[in-house]
Amino acid sequence: MPGQKKDSKSSYRKNIKRKRIAEEPAPEASDEQSSAVSSKANKKVRWDGEVEQPTESVLEDEDSENVGQEKFGRVACAYYDPVKCTLHYFDDTHENSHYDLTKALLEQCCPDIVITSSKADDNFIEVLRDHMDASGGTFQVRPHKDFFPTKGRDRLFSLRLLAELPGGPRQDQGSSDSDDRSGPRNAYDFMIRRKEVVVDPTMQRWNASVRLANYASVDNAPLCLGSIGALIDYLARIRALGELDDEGVGIEICAIRALTLSQSMQINQDALFSLQIFEDENHASIHSDKTKEGLSLFGILNNTKTTLGRALMREWLIRPSLSLDMINARHDAVACFLRPDNLVTAGSMHSHLAGIKNVPRTLGLMRAGRATVSDWQALVKFTFHSLMLRDALSELSHANVDIVKRLVEALEVASFKEVGSAVNETIDWEESTIAGRVCVRPHIDEELDNLKHIYHGIDNVLSKVAQQISATVPPDYASSLNVVYFPQLGFLICVPMLEEWKADEGIIVLEGWTFQVTTHYTTERSHVYFKSQEMHDMDVHIGDLHPSIVDREIEIVQSLLEKILVYDEEMTHACDVCAELDCLLSFAEASRACNYVRPQMTEENVLDIKQGRHPLQEFVVDTFVPNDAFVVGGAGVDADPLEYIDQDGSEDVHEERHSIVVCTGANACGKSVYLKQVALIQYMAQTATLGIVDKIFTRIQTRETVSKVQSAFMIDLNQVSLALRNATERSLILLDEFGKGTISADGAGLFCGVLRHLVQRGAACPKVFAATHFHDVFTDDLLAPHLLPVTFAHMQVMLTTRHGQLLAASGADDGADISDGDGGGDEGAQDAGEGRRVAPGERITYLYRVARGLSLDSHAAMCAEIFGIPRRIANRARYVSKLLSTHELGQLLDEEMAEGERKDLEGAEDVCRRFLAWDLTGDAGARGDVRQVLAEVLDR
């Protein structure tokens, strides 16, 4: 397999682990928690409409480089199509500061009415209002209470589509009275009979929750639920006002579907979780509620240096692009940065990006007057590193790529140099660091220089005034005296506190003086401050110097800010392009470290992978075995075959061009890893010829929780139902042991039924990879290759003796006919995939290699022994499994019989055999009467 030096990969693993420990983003607050503490939490933004109803809430992510918080948003929406009576939903998704996702949703749906929450952000409302004003639609603001997730869930459960059971003929219709009294055969039959007796709200709510999971996965999407609730309320209000003569005020919703963007892949939370695109791990400290990124695809690819780059990469992984032009442009950039002659330059560019901070956030703080010294330093660093980055771009060879062109245009050297020079020439960095605020350099403003001259030379003036005042003070009143200056208080006379002043008489004030304040540094050191006529004169003539200096510096900095904000759009655009460059350089670094290969993107609906690897699994094992994969979309029953040319130019490399691949094999042989790596390669666009996939659905992992009134098997059914309802011919579906949560007969039937349903879609059949241990479906022509266009594969294993002698190997010959499963072998070795069982003392070796054909034995007993199950239990399991396969399960009953019972049973068996051997067609008179024959049969 194409590999990498061990030292390089080991160092990359250490960097990944170190990065996982270092990154600790702030936790995200839920919608309900935020609404409960709105005075302290960040501002929430929600919006929705009759035809479109997005929702956004602003969350915080801690910036490790700058002081302050970086705001990130999440958006969700609901959309109602009155023509088809369909409710569309868009799951909770991250939004950027430009509201690009919001604008894309508005342009795609073209809503007539948009409603939003009263707590929406002002900028967000402006985006909605501008769009609706331009399109001539209606824009409304609704109370925030309409957008609560709990209300949205209740509104959904009240829909007739979910709350009422589907109609149809009853199973017991036309049967006898005895049949009517029989028990219900399934859950729906039971609930229909229960409904006939009494309307049970609990039953209706449970039924609605189960049916909702078949249409949408919104349990972990509070913003989406709130949007749906507000939308249904608005529709009900319209119907109540316009159709009062109709029966009730119900809403006609015939279907619930996911709203997919035309240029983004749809992938739900279950698929993201199953494929480990993101992985949040709790902080090691029990006192911290923060999380960090674990072993995930995002953790491997994320080598970004900027906050904006990290946020953009997360956005790319949540919504992968479907635009071939955009994908190819990114691949061109990564290929350019991976050229040997560009490696040094690319590394230098990535280092300069580390100095580019989040300028849009910094400018926002400056406008609000909350910018600190570090924010101004970040602005100067941006101008410096952007100029250095601009110079580095000229050193790239073969740099005719889109990102480089756009970056050259975005980095305006003259403008940024002017900004950096203006800030550097105005702000005194040394004094600002000491004072903890923004200070201005000398010779910038004459008035400010005079104030500072007086302020810095005031020590001599105060010393002379103190000497003059001390001459008029009695010696027994103060042993020492000083004149000090406090901002806001002015000039004061400071004398040490006497012991007698601490008594009941209190502080004695001289004539012409007024008491101001007392300070207590320690029990021994206390001072008393007074005002005299001299102090009042100094306040009048010299004034409150410090506030005057600060006010004048604020005016100068504000004037500087007005000059800088002229280039606001240019700097913001440059930061956005730099964030994209950061992501592409991060992709290039990960590709070089992990030896990823550029894929060939195509318009054809095909997935052709050569030597594919699982990007996460290969980091946790010493040796990873790569495998090929090939599948085409729309190759169901009676569909026209796809004319596909392989990567090497040959047309007939793949004889079987099917949409469904069924993988079998022993337990723990790597089937699940194979399925996941296919989806991840498609997701990453790794080593393959790949057509565009619009949606990815998975039935791999079951996320059980006590908050759901559903069993694990029911959750699996919901995942598959969601895939069947929404999959197209360009979708990718992964089914890992679907049906394992129930008895084998029902599970096998469901698995077989799903595959047959998909393949019978014909040209609309999606691309499917399935793994199963239900070997019964391969018998009796249930899933036969000569009847259905299905490709069969298995994971190879090898059986050996204790001394290493080969006994059997599965799939030794990849050219074998799949229909008969003959895998060949060396020197008489049997095929381990033909159901050969592992005998005691034999060993099984997992080869983790995909081969054609079926494997009809899971080798479960051997797997159990490997993972610690006692051998006597495993041997017992082998014996019972053998009896089941030979239909001799009755022998298990013989084990519990006593010796006398066993002899009685043998005698009864002999009687039965003699009775069955009796020739009833013969002449009874020739053999005696019937009584005599029966006596012989009974041995009496």
pLDDT in tens, 314-337: 989 988 998 999 999 999 999 999
Q: What does the pLDDT read at residue 4?
A: 41
Helices (H), 138-185: 149-157, 160-163, 177-180
Is 297 or 782 the better-scoring residue by pLDDT? 297
Token pair belonging to 130:
């501008």
CATH architecture, domain 74-164+186-258:
2-Layer Sandwich (3.30)
Please give the mean pLDDT across all residues of the chain: 79
- Token pair 């302020």 in the structure block, residue: 455
Rg (CA), the chain: 39
C-alpha 489/C-alpha 516 separation (Å) is: 9
pLDDT beyond 80 at 548: yes
Residue 596: its H or E element: none
Is 918 or 572 the better-scoring residue by pLDDT? 572
The mean pLDDT value for 477-492 works out to 85
Torsion angles phi and psi, residue 773, rounded to 5? -115, 10
pLDDT beyond 50 at 228: yes
pLDDT, tens digit (0-9, with 9 covering 90-100), for 59-112? 333 333 332 333 457 788 899 988 888 899 888 888 878 888 888 888 888 888
pLDDT beyond 80 at 240: no
Tell which residue, 861, 800, 864, has the closest CA to residue 832.
800
* Residue ranges matching CATH 1.10.1420.10 in the chain: 302-443+555-594
Other CB atoms within a 10 A radius of the CB of residue 335 amount to: 15
DSSP code for 25: P
C-alpha 315/C-alpha 73 separation (Å) is: 11
Most confident range, picked from 653-662, 738-747, 825-834, 896-905: 738-747
Collapse the DSSP code of 846 into the 3-class scheme (helix H, G, I; strand E, B; otherwise coil) and give the result. Answer: strand
Q: Which CATH class is domain 302-443+555-594?
A: mainly alpha
Check: CB of residue 843 under 8 Å from CB of residue 865: no
pLDDT beyond 60 at 836: no
Give 371's contacts (C-beta < 8 A, 6+ positions apart): 362, 365, 438
Least confident window among 78-92, 194-208, 378-392, 640-654: 640-654
Give 277's contacts (C-beta < 8 A, 6+ positions apart): 267, 296, 297, 298, 317, 683
User: pLDDT-derived band of residue 922, with 50, 70 and 90 as boundaries?
Assistant: low
Q: Where are the beta strands (DSSP E) in 568-654?
A: 600-602, 606-612, 627-632
What percent of the chain is predicted at pLDDT more than 90? 26
Q: What does the pLDDT read at residue 29?
A: 36
User: pLDDT-derived band of residue 526, with 50, 70 and 90 as boundaries?
Assistant: confident
Please return the burial class of 510, using the count of CB atoms within 10 Å of its CB with bins 0-12, 13-18 and 19+. middle
Q: What does the pLDDT read at residue 306?
A: 93
* Residue ranges matching CATH 3.30.420.110 in the chain: 74-164+186-258
User: pLDDT-derived band of residue 637, with 50, 70 and 90 as boundaries?
Assistant: confident
Record: fold of 598-642+662-703+711-811+837-857:
Rossmann fold (3.40.50)
pLDDT beyond 80 at 720: yes
Tell which residue, 124, 44, 48, 125, has the closest CA to residue 88.
48
pLDDT beyond 80 at 551: yes
Give 288's contacts (C-beta < 8 A, 6+ positions apart): 24
Q: What does the pLDDT read at residue 213?
A: 80
Q: What does the pLDDT read at residue 215?
A: 82
C-alpha 507/C-alpha 497 separation (Å) is: 8
What is the sign of the dihedral through the CA atoms of 748, 750, 753 and 755? negative
pLDDT, tens digit (0-9, with 9 covering 90-100), for 123-164? 888 898 889 988 888 999 888 888 898 888 888 888 888 877
